Every structure is written in structure tokens, then in C-alpha cells.
Amino acid sequence: KAGVTQTPRYLIKTRGQQVTLSCSPISGHRSVSWYQQTPGQGLQFLFEYFSETQRNKGNFPGRFSGRQFSNSRSEMNVSTLELGDSALYLCASSARTVDTGELFFGEGSRLTVL
Amino acid sequence: SQQGEEDPQALSIQEGENATMNCSYKTSINNLQWYRQNSGRGLVHLILIRSNEREKHSGRLRVTLDTSKKSSSLLITASRAADTASYFCATDDSNYQLIWGAGTKLIIKP
């Protein structure tokens, strides 16, 4: 069974640009969550999608958005990039239906904003 | 906001010794999970313990949960160099959202 795949793995952008990150969950998983990880703030929850609907949202500005497609693949977008957006963005999928179960993480997309 | 707080922030031990990490949280939970992260990589799930469980084992791992003290501990026995990683606890609150701690960085010296 293929794991969670995130693309791209590394990317460099400049301030003001926008970026789109992609996540393909494990086959059959309908829940996809996104996290931002920085050395100073640790692992911060961005949002969770389940069957194409955003089910939970973290405390991030509206520049951060996401969506989930009918095949459960998910994308997140960050517009008007700021230096502070430099981070490892992690996607995780879960077979969860009601409560939170085991999360399966991808290797992450490392974003550097110059 | 961060609910889980790991303790210690960093731990360095000799190979073969046992490593213990602690996690404290603030609100009632449905379950608590532990994850491992090797440097710059994705997280790997280690173990999930539900609020009605007190202890759980998986190979060299032992997790305890004390809901009265709102704390959990992760014990790794007979540590190996490959155990060098950061360890995170995550709590599933009543909103079914995982809240993460800042992690414990574990270094196993050969």
C-alpha cells in the first residue's frame, strides 16, 4: 500500500508570491490534515478535510487555504508569502471516521521564502 | 494552542539504557498518541492509548496514561542508535482535533 505522497519536496519562493502544495493520501483514507512545523513554534495544525469538506481549522490567517478533491487528494495554498511562512508543511491522512485515529504522515514539503 | 507539553525538551543517554519521556495536557481527552520524527522527515505513529486505558505496550515501547494527573509517559527500553529522533505526544480533545506538544529530542550515544 503506497504511503502519503507530498509534492514538491522542496521549494523556494520570494515574498509576495503564492505556493500550492499537494498531498495524495493513502488509498481509502478520507481524512487529510495539514500541519506547519517550524523550529520555534513546533507542529501547528492548519486544517483538516474529510470527504471534500473542511472539518477543522487551526488559527492561521486567511492567506492559508486548502481543498480536497473527490479522490481525497488535497492541496493547500499560501498566498502573499511572508518570510515567516518558511517551514516544513506536513500532510497526514487517516482512516478516521468519528474519533481521531492513527495519522500517516508524508515526508513534507519544505518551503523557503526569501 | 499547545496542550501537550513534553518533558524533558532534550535527553541524551547511552545506547542500551532506557529513555523516559513525559507528556502533560490540560483538558479531557479521547486518546493520546505518541509519534517519532527523524530529522526533517515526516512523523511516524508509535502508539495510541485511549482515555480508559492505563498502560499499553508495543515492542520496546511502554506508554502509561494517568487521566487524574493529565499526564502520560513513554518508555523506550534498551535504546538503540536508531531511536535517535524527536518524540511528540498528541492529544485528541473533545473536538476530535489533535493538539501537539513541542517534542522531546532524544539522542542515543553509541
Each residue of B18-65: pLDDT tens digit? 999 999 999 888 899 999 999 888 999 999 999 999 999 999 999 999
Contact B31 A100 (CB under 8 A): yes
pLDDT at A81: 98
Q: Is it the case that residue B1 has pLDDT exceeding 60?
A: no
pLDDT at B2: 42
Does A107 touch chain B if contact means CB atoms closer than 8 Å?
yes
Q: Do residues B72 and B65 lie in contact, with contact meaning Cβ atoms separated by under 8 Å?
A: yes
Q: Do residues B23 and B5 lie in contact, with contact meaning Cβ atoms separated by under 8 Å?
A: yes
Each residue of B68-103: pLDDT tens digit? 999 999 999 999 999 999 999 999 876 667 888 889
- Cell, residue A45: 495544525
Contact B42 A103 (CB under 8 A): no
- Cα B11 from chain centroid (whole Å): 13
The beta-carbon neighbor of A100 closest among B30, B41, B44 is: B30
Q: Is it the case that residue A30 has pLDDT exceeding 80?
A: yes
Does A42 touch chain B if contact means CB atoms closer than 8 Å?
yes
Each residue of A69-112: pLDDT tens digit? 999 999 999 999 999 999 999 999 998 776 668 899 999 999 99
Q: Do residues B41 and B85 lie in contact, with contact meaning Cβ atoms separated by under 8 Å?
A: no
pLDDT at B3: 54
- Mean pLDDT in residue range A23-27: 97
**Range from A17-26, A70-79, A86-95, B2-11 carrying the lowest mean pLDDT:** B2-11
- Put simply, the chain A residues between 5 and 24 with a CB less than 8 A from any chain B CB are none
pLDDT at A39: 82
Contact A102 B33 (CB under 8 A): yes
Sign of CA dihedral A37, A64, A58, A84: positive
Q: Do residues B74 and B63 lie in contact, with contact meaning Cβ atoms separated by under 8 Å?
A: yes
Integer Cα distance of B72 and B69 in angstroms: 9
Chain A neighbors of B98, CB-CB under 8 A? 33, 45, 100, 103
pLDDT > 70 fraction of chain A, expressed in percent and rounded: 96
Chain A neighbors of B102, CB-CB under 8 A? 42
Contact B41 A107 (CB under 8 A): yes
pLDDT at B30: 87
- Mean pLDDT in residue range A49-58: 91
